[in-house]
A and B are shown apart, each in its own frame.
Chain A
Amino acid sequence: AQSVTQPDIHITVSEGASLELRCNYSYGATPYLFWYVQSPGQGLQLLLKYFSGDTLVQGIKGFEAEFKRSQSSFNLRKPSVHWSDAAEYFCAVGFTGGGNKLTFGTGTQLKVEL
């Protein structure tokens, strides 16, 4: 079965600093990879997704992620964090034949210091 690991439970960065959130997956074939963001008490919003092709994908709100097959990773990055980026971030994996049934990581809580 596929699985997703987000090793950082909490991350704190200063506003304007760069950000990288880590995500590692376990799956035998090429997965479909997603990053979602959740504000407190709200649902999840898709930031970006990788299906195939270019391994560097651009998303909304200035986020990007890079798929590295050799490292089984799909890390999320942003060059300059804004205070409004404070939220919880979830990495998720899907697979061929799985419908749209996704497996989520445990999430990384981002705090932004002004």
Chain B
Amino acid sequence: DGGITQSPKYLFRKEGQNVTLSCEQNLNHDAMYWYRQDPGQGLRLIYYSQIVNDFQKGDIAEGYSVSREKKESFPLTVTSAQKNPTAFYLCASSSGQGAGTGELFFGEGSRLTVL
């Protein structure tokens, strides 16, 4: 079945460590996104990529980095510069690069806890 796979589902990190969250899709979608979800704050966009080898900052990119070397993959690195990294992270993808008319398909999320 086609879909988006995020791993790991749960991750614990010590302060000062970088961690990388994996996101893989087999939907042949051009665009991919990373959102952060905190209780009571909805989803906030971290980074997005509309095509391979290109990505843009979202609303809360500080302390995060991404790469888009393959169409199927869009890993997110949470760096030690991110002051409050504990959150639920959601990866999504969509087809097309045009107007905001496409449905976002979401993975099941990764919960990061900083100890």
Note all chain B residues with C-beta closer than 8 A to A90: 42-43
* A36 vs B102: C-alpha distance when bound (angstroms): 13
Chain B contacts with A in 44-59, Cβ cutoff 8 A: 44-45, 48, 50, 58
A46 with B104: CB separation less than 8 A = yes
A22 to B42, CA, bound (A): 15
CB pair A51 B107 closer than 8 Å: no
Q: Which residues of B contact A45 (CB under 8 A)?
A: 106
Contact with B along A77-97 (1 / 0, CB 8 A): 000000000000010001111
Q: Is A97 a contact of B108 with CB atoms below 8 Å?
A: no
- B16 at interface, CB cutoff 8 A: no
Is A28 positioned at the interface, with any CB of B under 8 Å from its CB? no
Contacts of B50 in A (CB 8 A): 99
Number of interface residues of B (CB under 8 A): 30
Using a CB–CB cutoff of 8 Å, the interface residues on chain B facing chain A are 4, 31, 33, 35, 40-45, 48, 50, 58, 90, 92, 94, 96-104, 106-109, 111
Can you name 26 A-B residue pairings with CB atoms under 8 Å? A9-B40, A41-B108, A42-B108, A43-B90, A43-B108, A44-B92, A44-B104, A44-B106, A46-B103, A49-B103, A51-B101, A94-B99, A94-B101, A95-B100, A96-B99, A97-B99, A98-B100, A99-B48, A99-B50, A99-B97, A99-B98, A102-B45, A102-B104, A104-B44, A106-B40, A106-B41
Give 10 A-B pairs besides A42-B109, A43-B106, A99-B98 with Cβ atoms closer than 8 angstroms: A32-B99, A32-B101, A41-B111, A44-B92, A95-B99, A98-B100, A100-B31, A100-B101, A103-B45, A105-B42
